[in-house]
Amino acid sequence: MTRELESLNEVRLGMFSFAHMHAASYIHFLAQMEGVTIAGIYDDDYDRGGRIAAQYNVPYFRRADGLFDQELDGAVICSENALHAPLVLQGAGRVGAILCEKPIATTASDGQEMIDRCRETGTKLQIAFPMRFAPPVMELKQQLDAGVLGEIYSVKSTNHGSMPGRWFADHKLAGGGAVMDHTVHVVDLLRWFWDTEVEEIYAEVGRELLHPGLGIDDVGLLSFRLANGVFGTLDTSWSRPPSYPTWGDVKLDVLGEQGLISVDAFEQNLQVSSNEAGKTSDVNWGSSGDEGLVADFVAMIREDLEPSISGEDGQRALEVALAAYESARRVEPVALPI
């Protein structure tokens, strides 16, 4: 055991913002990993940053610069979507690697600038698509690679969610509502499954359909065709109300010549009925994709590997979300790349 510990190079990470709730999960797993040091937490929200810093007994930084100065091997950026770009541009060249929460940015130009700057400065940019590490999704990928379905016809998918509120409903910070929030995970999986691209997208986007007064889109129904000929749909809607047993879902039904594979990535649950909660909730006991994602990020740093999920992967997924909005505006299918 001691020998193993010695053999692991220390990896020093900084956590930049807990605006996105995934950061809490990432730090939870990172803090447990051998040889990983959380060098500090930056957050522009003093209360939030201070609380989490205290919880993990690590320094809190009021300014991102202060944390970038801590001889970091890597930075984990989970700010509001629109603030990914300034943080990544600030960190490029100062840290060896960046794990950036999805979507990469709110505009294609921001995303491209992030990719270019990281390349120029030799900083590795990885985008956080943890669904690639969720075991039910990995099992689907294996079955697809084994070719059990024969010719693939179609994919019906959903990435439903609860309405997250806060900055997620602020166009300036989020870049869009449900479509921006929930297009990229599944699009990344589709690209990954078949090493292909979304070639055409049609979208029906609903604004304030489920949450009157929200001020942003809360319903998205995307219909796509992939370059490999597979067609499908993706429902990105924030259609899970507070009374629902869980936050949402990631579901994929892949139909092929030989049959159907249905994946419900968050179906490994206990049903917990609580008088205090006033409802029955799904409590997931499945293996977390977040854990696999951060372990992959640490391994990339330690073993000097290329990112398994690159900035370009993040950019392609973002472009699909932007094209979906464009399609809804024009009420016609939009071809990609735009």
State the residues that interact with other proteins by CB under 8 A: 153-154, 156, 202, 204, 206, 209-212, 219, 221, 223, 225, 231-233, 235, 237, 239-241, 243-244, 255, 258-260, 331-333
CA distance 288 to 294: 11
Which two structure tokens, joined as six digits, stand for 235?
Answer: 């429902």
DSSP single-letter state for residue 165: -
User: Smallest distance, Å, CB 92 to other proteins?
Assistant: 40
Query: Which CB atom, from 104 or from 198, has the smaller least distance to other proteins?
Result: 198
Rounded to a whole number of angstroms, the minimum distance from the CB of residue 33 to other proteins is: 38
User: How far is it, in rounded angstroms, from Cα 137 to Cα 131?
Assistant: 7
Which pair of structure tokens corresponds to residue 177?
A: 């509502």
Helices (H), 147-212: 171-174, 178-182, 184-194
Shortest spacing between CB 181 and other proteins, in angstroms: 15
What is the length of the chain? 338
Question: Please, which residue, 298 or 336, has the CB nearer to other proteins?
Answer: 336
Q: How far is CA 6 from the centre of its chain?
A: 33
Nearest CB to other proteins, comparing residues 66 and 333: 333
Instruction: Answer whether 333's CB lies under 8 Å from 146's CB.
Output: no
- Cβ proximity to other proteins, 108 vs 149, nearer residue: 149
Looking at beta carbons only, is 106 or 158 nearer to other proteins? 158
CB of 134 to other proteins, least distance (A): 21
Alpha-carbon gap, residue 98 to 150, rounded angstroms: 38
Cα distance between residue 331 and residue 246, in whole Å = 33
Please say which residue, 123 or 183, places its beta carbon nearer to other proteins.
183
Q: How far is the CB of 5 from other proteins (least distance, A)?
A: 48
Q: Please report how close the Cβ of residue 176 comes to other proteins at its closest, in angstroms.
A: 16
Nearer of residues 34 and 204 to other proteins, judged by Cβ: 204
In the complex, minimum distance from the CB of residue 323 to other proteins, in angstroms, rounded to a whole number: 15
Q: Least distance from C-beta 232 to other proteins, angstroms? A: 7
Burial status of residue 76 (CB atoms within 10 A of its CB: 0-12, 13-18, 19 or more): buried
SS3 (DSSP) at 240: strand
Of 122 and 212, CB closest to other proteins: 212
β strands within the chain, DSSP E: 11-16, 36-42, 60-61, 74-77, 97-101, 124-128, 152-158, 198-207, 217-226, 231-235, 251-256, 259-264, 269-274, 279-284, 334-335
